[in-house]
């Protein structure tokens, strides 16, 4: 089958297969967004006189039918078809004849795939936000439920000071707030319209880029057409960094859970149905879920660097190198959501050990508490520190397991509501409702 760009020369099969690579599979991620971009583009073409009104009506009807086919899971790229753009144009031409060939006026596959990727990334970031909210709410709920249950705190993996299960889980909830802030930044960069930049140098057609921006629900334009093309790779890298931040939070939580499940810690446990066994050791309850979350997330953490290296030293303009950015980034969204779902399942069913710090082996966790008591009684801190140190060395150390921490963010004052408000503020600044309404409007007849 001939290509959209092909003239009369034949392309060697080996070259064709190598250059297409895995792009057909990756293009299925973009299929629905390619159609949305074409609806907006043809609407604008009609408004500036490059399509008749009837042609626009016919094209939109056919495009909506293709969109519904994609949403129903009944769409595929035919054998020999190079990409999603070609497949859509072929279907339109089969249905509408020469009218179907007109949809490519005033655009290039370069800006077409750019807008597809922007729309895809935007939608995925919206879905990810929903998953984050679910995990965040669960962490806060469990943090409050376990706020009075003490837990050893460690530095250098050595006993340090008293913590609590509430403080531990609340830390990961607040970590998600900062991660969400980086998602917000990625969303703002993604939510700009590159359509109309064509091959990277604009068009002599009298197109209206502000109109396609409005139709697709973008916040604004990538104004400079050269920069619009330079944004390919940059938007993916910044988005990947946001994913990597969430992945880092989940990986650290998973590592904690693996340690705390270990029999030498014994702080938490899970139902047998959520752990795995050994083929020869009947006592084993392995933390496979957390180990896999850790590994998936560590792989996602490598994405920004991978994208950075793949785009290193590329000059401005389009380059085929950019095609490969899709292969690891696109599936990462679902992988990260899966990890959040499984982490939520485990935390929801987690049982904690009560009264851990009553065991004398944790007595030195309270050394700072005893120092502080002396300071509160008037002794200079350095003298109090020295006295308790000597007591420990001479075996005279005594302690009280009752602690009273009252400052913001401490064991006795988690600040759960304040952290919740921080998350609400970040999410409120995202315009998901506006975007959803605009896409619904775009698909209406």
- Asked if the structure places residue 407 within a domain, the reply is no
Q: What is the pLDDT of residues 19-39, one digit of tens each?
A: 776 777 788 899 999 999 999
89 and 184 in a single domain? The answer is no
Residue 328 counted as domain residue:
yes
Residue 306 covered by a domain = yes
Q: Are residues 83 and 128 in the same domain?
A: no
Q: How many domains does the chain have?
A: 2
Contacts of 318 (CB under 8 A, 6+ apart): 110, 199, 200, 229, 232
Q: Is residue 6 predicted with pLDDT exceeding 60? A: no
Specify the pTM: 0.92
- Can you give the residue range of the structural domain that contains 268? 116-148+164-195+224-356+415-443
Is 325 inside any structural domain?
Answer: yes
> What is the rounded average pLDDT of the residues 177-184?
98
The DSSP result for 340-401, as a single string, is HHHHHHHHHT-EE-SSGGGSGGGGGGGHHHHHHHHHHTT--HHHHHHHHHHHHHTT-----S
CA–chain centroid gap for 434, Å, is 21
Examine the pLDDT at 407 and tell me if it is beyond 70. yes
Question: What average pLDDT does the chain have?
Answer: 93
CATH number at residue 97: 1.10.275.10
pLDDT for residue 162? 96
**Does 133 lie in the same domain as 96?**
no
Is 417 in contact with 137 (CB distance < 8 Å)? no
**137 and 181 in one domain?**
yes
Query: Residue 268: helix, strand or coil by DSSP?
Result: strand
> Which DSSP symbol is given to 281?
-
Q: Which two tokens stand for residue 361?
A: 């082996």
Q: Do 239 and 346 lie in a common domain?
A: yes
SS (H, E, C) 319-340: CHHHHHHHHHHHHHHHHHHHHH
Query: Whose structure tokens read 């050893």?
Result: 152
pLDDT tens digits for 337-377? 999 999 999 999 999 999 999 999 999 999 999 999 999 99
Tokens found for residue 14 = 């080996």
DSSP state of 322: G
291-310: per-residue pLDDT in tens? 999 999 999 999 999 999 98
Looking at residue 324, its pLDDT comes to 87
Q: Sign (positive/negative) of CA torsion 200, 205, 209, 215? A: negative
Q: Is residue 89 part of a domain?
A: yes
107 near 198, Cβ under 8 Å? yes
> Residue 110 is encoded by which pair of tokens?
């370069």
One domain, residues 69 and 39? yes
The answer to whether residues 87 and 171 belong to one domain is no
């Amino acid at each position: 089958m001939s290509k959209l760009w092909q003239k009369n020369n034949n392309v060697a099969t080996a070259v064709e297969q190598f250059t297409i690579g895995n792009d057909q599979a990756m293009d299925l991620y973009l299929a629905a967004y390619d159609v949305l971009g074409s609806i907006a583009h043809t609407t604008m073409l009609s408004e500036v006189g490059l399509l008749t009104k009837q042609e626009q009506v016919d094209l939109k009807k056919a495009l909506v039918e293709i969109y519904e086919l994609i949403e129903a899971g009944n769409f595929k790229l035919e054998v020999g078809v190079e990409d999603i753009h070609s497949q859509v144009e072929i279907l339109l031409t089969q249905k509408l004849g020469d009218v179907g060939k007109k949809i490519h006026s005033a655009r290039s596959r370069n800006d077409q795939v750019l807008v597809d990727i922007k729309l895809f990334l935007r939608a995925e970031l919206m879905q990810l936000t929903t998953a984050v909210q679910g995990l965040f709410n669960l962490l806060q709920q469990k943090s409050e439920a376990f706020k009075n249950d003490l837990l050893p705190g460690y530095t250098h993996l050595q006993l340090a000071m008293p913590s609590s299960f509430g403080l531990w889980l609340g830390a990961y909830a607040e970590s998600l707030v900062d991660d969400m802030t980086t998602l917000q930044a990625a969303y703002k960069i993604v939510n700009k319209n590159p359509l109309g930049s064509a091959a990277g140098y604009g068009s002599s057609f009298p197109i209206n880029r502000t109109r396609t921006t409005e139709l697709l629900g973008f916040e604004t334009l990538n104004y400079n057409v050269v920069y619009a093309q330079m944004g390919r790779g940059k938007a993916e890298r910044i988005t990947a960094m946001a994913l990597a931040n969430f992945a880092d939070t989940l990986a650290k939580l998973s590592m904690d859970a693996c340690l705390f499940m270990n029999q030498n810690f014994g702080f938490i446990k899970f139902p047998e149905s959520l752990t795995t066994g050994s083929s020869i050791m009947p006592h084993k309850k392995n933390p496979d879920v957390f180990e896999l979350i850790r590994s998936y997330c560590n792989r996602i953490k490598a994405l920004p660097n991978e994208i950075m290296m793949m785009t290193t030293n590329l000059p401005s303009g389009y380059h085929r190198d950019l095609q490969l950015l899709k292969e690891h980034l696109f599936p990462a969204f679902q992988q990260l959501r899966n990890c959040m779902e499984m982490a939520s399942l485990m935390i929801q069913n987690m049982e904690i050990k009560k009264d851990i710090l009553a065991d004398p082996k944790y007595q030195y966790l309270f050394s700072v508490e005893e120092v502080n008591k002396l300071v509160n009684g008037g002794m200079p801190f350095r003298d109090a520190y020295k006295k308790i140190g000597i007591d420990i060395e001479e075996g005279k150390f005594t302690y009280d397991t009752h602690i009273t921490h009252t400052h913001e963010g401490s064991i006795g004052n988690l600040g759960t509501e304040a952290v919740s408000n921080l998350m609400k503020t970040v999410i409120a600044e995202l315009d998901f409702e506006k975007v959803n309404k605009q896409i619904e409007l775009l698909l209406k007849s």
